[in-house]
């Protein structure tokens, strides 16, 4: 398992905000001290303008350097343009590593799946996984799928990949919940699996599996996974029921696809996030 990370991603914080540096630093600590998951560490370079501008408008990219908050959840920070470029670059690197046949996880912040073509929102600034998916299509991949199991709808990924030839998007999320979208399928390639709040684990697993079967029918050559861990029973931002063993199970299901898979951290805000990530990595490896 290759872990892409960069401790510079710990360098911004808004006091009291759930998307905090400890999400990464505590996970690093756990991964370093446990011995049974064999891992190597790597860093990635920044995503360049060419890659970013496939997914975002030039005005949006420029806006990241304007000192003004984006919305009540999504603050501006002096270094956020670089941090967002680094996180998107890590997603791209993860995609290339997966295509070389290795298992890989991008352990970075900020997350990306709420950032649309022209808007930062929901703690996200650049649409990391969509940028990586478009880079895959630009470098020889004919069919790429994105599977998003974060508890929130990946509205940004959907906005970027909507009707993109060669791409398909599958999002499994609590509904109703932030950001309010994802109640039905969109375009000809975006498939949404809304899950009511407090859905029992067994049923939630069934929905996760249905989406995965649907993804398989798309016959992708490579699969990007928006790995958010906020459908966890004790996550403070949503009302679902999953446990660590469900994330382990989901990792195994993804591994069983037998396809190149790259996973990118999205949300997950409980103090147990490190254990959830480790359970997932043990399954997906």
Q: Would you give the DSSP letter of residue 10?
A: G
* CB contact set of 15 (below 8 Å; sequence gap of 6+): none
Distance CA 258, CA 186 (A): 28
Task: Pick one of 228, 260, 274, 283: the residue that binds Zn ion (CB under 5 A).
Answer: 228
Cα-only R_g, the chain: 17
Does the protein bind Zn ion through residue 152 (CB under 5 A)? yes
Distance CA 246, CA 256 (A): 15
Q: Which of 80, 147, 74, 157 is nearest to 112 (CA)?
A: 157
What's the gap between Cα 186 and its chain centre? 19
Query: Going residue by residue from 6 to 45, which x/- string records binding to Zn ion, judged by CB under 5 A?
Result: ----------------------------------------
Distance CA 157, CA 169 (A): 8
Residue among 110 and 260 whose Cβ is closer to Zn ion: 110
Does the protein bind Zn ion through residue 148 (CB under 5 A)? no
Task: Pick one of 267, 270, 276, 279: the residue that binds Zn ion (CB under 5 A).
Answer: 267
Task: Pick one of 73, 150, 235, 275: the residue that binds Zn ion (CB under 5 A).
Answer: 150
Residue among 96 and 199 whose Cβ is closer to Zn ion: 199
Ranges of H-type helices in 100-148: 128-138
Residue among 150 and 275 whose Cβ is closer to Zn ion: 150
Residue among 93 and 230 whose Cβ is closer to Zn ion: 230
114 is catalytic: yes
Cis peptide before 139 (omega within 30 of 0): no
The minimum distance between CB 110 and Zn ion, in angstroms, equals 12
Catalytic residue among 96, 113, 114, 153: 114
Residue among 58 and 176 whose Cβ is closer to Zn ion: 176
Region of 40-48, 149-157, 180-188, 211-219 interacting with Zn ion (CB under 5 A): 149-157
Task: Pick one of 230, 240, 246, 272: the residue that binds Zn ion (CB under 5 A).
Answer: 230
Q: Which of 156, 158, 211, 216 is nearest to 186 (CA)?
A: 158
8 A C-beta contact, residue 155 and residue 117: no
Residues designated as active site:
114
Q: For binding to Zn ion (CB under 5 A), which residues are involved?
A: 150, 152, 228, 230, 267
């Amino acid at each position: 398992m290759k872990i892409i990370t960069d401790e510079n991603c710990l360098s911004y914080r808004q006091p009291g905000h759930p998307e905090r540096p400890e999400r990464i630093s505590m996970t690093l600590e756990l991964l370093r001290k446990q011995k049974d998951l064999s891992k190597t560490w790597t860093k990635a370079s920044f995503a360049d303008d060419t890659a970013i501008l496939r997914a975002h408008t030039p005005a949006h990219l420029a806006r990241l350097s304007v000192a003004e908050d984006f919305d009540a959840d999504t603050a501006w920070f002096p270094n956020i343009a670089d941090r967002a470029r680094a996180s998107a670059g890590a997603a791209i690197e993860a995609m290339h590593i997966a295509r070389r046949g290795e298992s890989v996880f991008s352990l970075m912040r900020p997350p990306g799946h709420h950032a649309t073509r022209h808007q930062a929102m929901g703690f996200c600034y650049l649409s990391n996984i969509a940028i990586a998916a478009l880079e895959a299509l630009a470098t020889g991949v004919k069919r790429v799928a994105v599977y998003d199991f974060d508890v929130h709808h990946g509205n940004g990924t959907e906005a970027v990949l909507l009707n993109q030839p060669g791409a398909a998007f599958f999002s499994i999320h609590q509904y109703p919940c932030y950001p309010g979208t994802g109640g039905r399928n969109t375009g000809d390639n975006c498939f949404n699996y809304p899950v009511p709040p407090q859905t029992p684990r067994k049923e939630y697993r069934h929905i996760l599996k249905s989406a995965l079967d649907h993804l398989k029918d798309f016959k992708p050559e490579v699969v990007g996974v928006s790995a958010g861990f906020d459908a966890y029973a004790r996550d403070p931002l949503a009302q679902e029921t999953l446990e660590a063993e469900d994330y382990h199970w989901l990792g195994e299901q993804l591994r069983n696809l037998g396809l190149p898979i790259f996973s990118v951290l999205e949300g997950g805000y409980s103090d147990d996030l490190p254990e959830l990530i480790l359970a997932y990595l043990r399954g997906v490896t």
